[in-house]
Amino acid sequence: MSDVAKLAGVSHQTVSRVLNTPEAVRESTRERVVEAMTTLGYRPNLAARALASSKSQLLGIMSAGEARFGPTHAIHGVEQAARLADYLTTHLPATNPAEAEEATQHLLGAGVGGIVVIAPTHQLADQITAHRRNTPVVLLAAGAPVSEGVSVVSVNQELGARLAVRHLAKLGHPLIHHISGPPRWFDAHTRVMGWRTECEALGVEHGLLVEGGWDAADGFAATNTILASGAPLGAIFAANDLLALGAIRALRKRGLSVPEDVSVVGFDDSEGADFYVPSLTTVRQPFALVGRLAIEVLLRMIDGEPASSSSVEPELVVRESTTPARG
């Protein structure tokens, strides 16, 4: 800091005020200090700034410990956004209620200023809400309720499902089956809602709902259930890309071609989805944007703003796994 002060021609105390109370420093002086920082490549010590401002520069992240595309990319988006805002993060997984309570107490004991929770299930969301004390919390969970001190940020999962159904309906598919993730997951539940709602709105028959896990093997098994049911074949909307991959494999094992015989849509636009054979039509989730929004909301809450609910829109990515229905 002394080098910055010397280059800018100001006192050490003036540099400190620029960092902590910039509104108290004349604009011309602030500009000289900022220019000196840029020239010297200076970045303020976060711990020192926390002591000076009495505000923690540490944020907590909690997740269910799922090594899946959606949760891991959400965590990365939050961490990246926190770094850009000059905050440090500490991440703890919690796979059950006892671990969630322990992780919450650990984060609070570490003095975090707020916590972002990648909460796939009601169970994890309820645990952090019950034990957060007065610490602001942002839940990344579609469909979770807002409560005092607890904001919700999400991708609009229901809209994503509706986009998938709308695409298949426009291609002339009169029947759309849905392979769902675990019903206890917020995302799986809201995607089911979107599938049903859009089918009803467009007058398209919603076919079978087959619930399972999130893996390709679950998609394979669910598709075999659909094929064995005797129901008309129709199109398939899968709740993530791995489920879609399993569905494509099961259809091929039965001698059916995608998309000529069955159109398939996934969800997430996970890495490699464009290299599936055929390349996968899917719904893309903007995880980087969600991370930025989560940090923005959390920092506003730390500054005293009330809890709120925010969502961002997903995007349909059309590739080779869907085609117009056969006449």
Whether residues 194 and 134 share a domain: the answer is: no
Give the model confidence (pLDDT) of 47-83 as tens digits: 455 445 556 789 999 998 777 778 888 899 999 999 9
Whether residues 207 and 220 share a domain: the answer is: yes
Whether residues 148 and 164 share a domain: the answer is: no
| pLDDT score for 175 | 97
Whether residues 278 and 177 share a domain: the answer is: yes
Whether residues 93 and 142 share a domain: the answer is: yes
- Measured distance CA(144)–CA(155) in Å, rounded: 12
- Characterise 269 by phi-psi region: left (phi > 0), alpha (psi -120 to 50), beta (else): left
Bond into 145 cis (ω within 30)? no
Task: Look at residue 202 and tell me if it is in a domain.
Answer: yes
Task: Look at residue 325 and tell me if it is in a domain.
Answer: no
Whether the full predicted model's pTM is greater than 0.85, yes or no, is: no
Whether residues 128 and 171 share a domain: the answer is: no
Please name the residues in contact with 191: beta carbons below 8 A apart, sequence gap of 6 or more: 157, 158, 160, 161, 178, 180, 181, 239, 267
DSSP state at residue 183? T
Whether residues 262 and 183 share a domain: the answer is: yes
Task: Look at residue 319 and tell me if it is in a domain.
Answer: no
Q: Which residues pair with 151 in a beta bridge?
A: 138
Give the model confidence (pLDDT) of 6-37 as tens digits: 888 888 778 777 765 666 778 788 778 878 87
Domain containing residue 225: CATH number: 3.40.50.2300
Please name the residues in contact with 21: beta carbons below 8 A apart, sequence gap of 6 or more: none
| pLDDT score for 42 | 67
Task: Look at residue 137 and tell me if it is in a domain.
Answer: yes
Bond into 278 cis (ω within 30)? yes
Joined tokens for residue 129 = 């809400």
Whether residues 129 and 216 share a domain: the answer is: no
Q: How far is CA 284 from CA 161, 215, 236, in A?
A: 11, 18, 17
241 HSE (CA, 13 A, CB side): 24
Domain span at residue 207 reads 157-285
Task: Look at residue 322 and tell me if it is in a domain.
Answer: no
How far is C-alpha 169 from the geometric centre of its chain's CA atoms?
27
Whether residues 281 and 164 share a domain: the answer is: yes
Joined tokens for residue 295 = 């940090």
Whether residues 218 and 118 share a domain: the answer is: no
Give the model confidence (pLDDT) of 168-184 as tens digits: 999 999 999 999 999 99
